[in-house]
Structure 1
Amino acid sequence: MDLYQQKCEAPKKQGVRLGLVSGSGYGISFLALYCINSLCFYVGSWLIQKRIATFGEFFQVFFAITMTALAVSQTSAMAPDRNKAKDSAAYIFEILDSKPKIDSSSNEGAVLPIVHGHVEFQHVSFRYPTRPDIQIFSDLCLTISSGQTVALVGESESGKSTVISLIERFYDPDSGKVLLDQVDVRILKLSWLRQQMGLVSQEPVLFNETIRSNIAYGKTGEATEEEIITAAKAANAHNFISTLPQGYETSVGERGVQLSGGQKQRIAIARAILKDPKVLLLDEATSALDAESERVVQDALDSVMVNRTTVVVAHRLSMIKNADVIAVVKDGVIAERGRHETLMEISGGAYASLLAFHMSAN
Structure 2
Amino acid sequence: GATRYLFELLNNDTDAEQQDGQQAIEMGNISFNNVAFSYPNNPEKKVFNMLNIHIKQGEKTVIRGPSGNGKSTLAKLLLGYYLPTSGEIKIGEKLLNKHTIASFRSNIAYVEQEPILFSSSIIENLLPDVGEKPTQEQMKKVINACKKANAHEFIELLPNGYYTPISDRGNQLSGGQKQRIAIARAILQEPELVILDEFTSALDSKNRHCIEQAMEQLLLNKTVIIITHKESQFEKADNLIML
TM-score, scaled relative to structure 1: 0.61
For the residues of structure 2 that align with 1:233 and 1:133, how far apart are their CA atoms?
48
Q: Say whether residues 1:316 and 2:230 are aligned partners.
A: yes
Match of 2:56 among 127, 141, 145: 145
For the residues of structure 1 that align with 2:79 and 2:71, how far apart are their CA atoms?
13
For the residues of structure 1 that align with 2:212 and 2:200, how far apart are their CA atoms?
7
Q: Say whether residues 1:124 and 2:38 are aligned partners.
A: no
Higher RCO (C-alpha under 8 Å, 6+ residues apart): 2
Alignment: residue pair count: 238
Distance 1:171 1:245, change over 3 A: same
Give unpaired runs (5+ residues) of structure 2.
none
Match of 1:172 among 65, 83, 99: 83
CA-based RMSD of the aligned residues comes to 2.2
Match of 1:257 among 163, 171, 184: 171
Equivalent residue for 1:279? Answer: 193
Task: Work out which of the two has the higher radius of gyration on C-alpha atoms and give 1 or 2.
Answer: 1
- Answer whether contact 2:22 2:102 (CA < 8 A) is retained: no
Equivalent residue for 1:293? Answer: 207
3-state secondary structure, aligned to 2:44: coil
Equivalent residue for 2:66? Answer: 155
**Superposition deviation, residue 193 in structure 1:** 1.8
Q: Say whether residues 1:182 and 2:182 are aligned partners.
A: no
1:1-362 matched pairs, under 5 angstroms: 94-95=8-9, 97-103=11-17, 106-112=19-25, 115-186=26-97, 188-217=99-128, 224-329=138-243
For the residues of structure 1 that align with 2:6 and 2:78, how far apart are their CA atoms?
31
User: Which structure dedicates a bigger proportion of its chain to strand?
Assistant: 2
For the residues of structure 2 that align with 1:133 and 1:152, how far apart are their CA atoms?
25
Give unpaired runs (5+ residues) of structure 1.
1-86, 330-362
Distance 1:138 1:210, change over 3 A: same
3-state secondary structure, aligned to 2:97: helix
For the residues of structure 2 that align with 1:92 and 1:187, how far apart are their CA atoms?
22
For the residues of structure 1 that align with 2:114 and 2:2, how far apart are their CA atoms?
32
**Superposition deviation, residue 218 in structure 1:** 8.6
User: Which structure dedicates a bigger proportion of its chain to helix?
Assistant: 1
Distance 1:175 1:229, change over 3 A: same
For the residues of structure 2 that align with 1:242 and 1:264, how far apart are their CA atoms?
15
